[in-house]
Amino acid sequence: VQLVESGGGSVQAGGSLRLSCVVSGNSYSGKLIGWFRQVPGKDREGVAAIDIGDDSVYYDPSVRNLFFISQEKSKNSVSLQMNGLRPEDTAMYYCAAGRWSRWWRENLKTERYDYWGKGTQVTVS
């Protein structure tokens, strides 16, 4: 399974960015795609996730109503629309493929994910 992120960049506070993650490969049998972010010296944290089977979505409370995750099945991609960006949103953003859990908070934990992209940098000033 390969995941390739795109769409990162630099933006002023209050601005928006849309990240995209293209998923390829035939060995992936899970149904969870998540977005994570990490800054140097800190743990990777889950931002949003989507069950690609039924479009159920999960958000960290810090980004709820600002970030929106969605999928485009025809393109095998999952997007993260980020609005109202703040300097503290500055991080490397990664998408990952994992195994769904009935407990929503579990779907934002790195332990549930088996495949990772290389990341795309988001800088908010």
Spatial strand order in the sheet of 17-24: 2-6, 17-24, 77-82, 67-72
The helix (run of H) or strand (run of E) holding residue 20 is: strand 17-24
Q: How far is CA 85 from the centre of its chain?
A: 15
Question: What are residue 30's phi and psi, to 5 degrees?
Answer: -75, 180
Report the C-alpha gap between 77 and 79 in whole angstroms: 7
Mean pLDDT of the chain: 95
Looking at residue 121, its pLDDT comes to 98
Report the C-alpha gap between 78 and 72 in whole angstroms: 6
Q: What percent of the chain has pLDDT over 70?
A: 97
Q: What percent of the chain has pLDDT over 90?
A: 90
Whether the predicted pLDDT of 26 surpasses 80? no
- pLDDT category of residue 25 using cuts at 50, 70 and 90: confident
pLDDT in tens, 82-122: 999 999 999 999 999 999 999 999 999 999 999 999 999 99
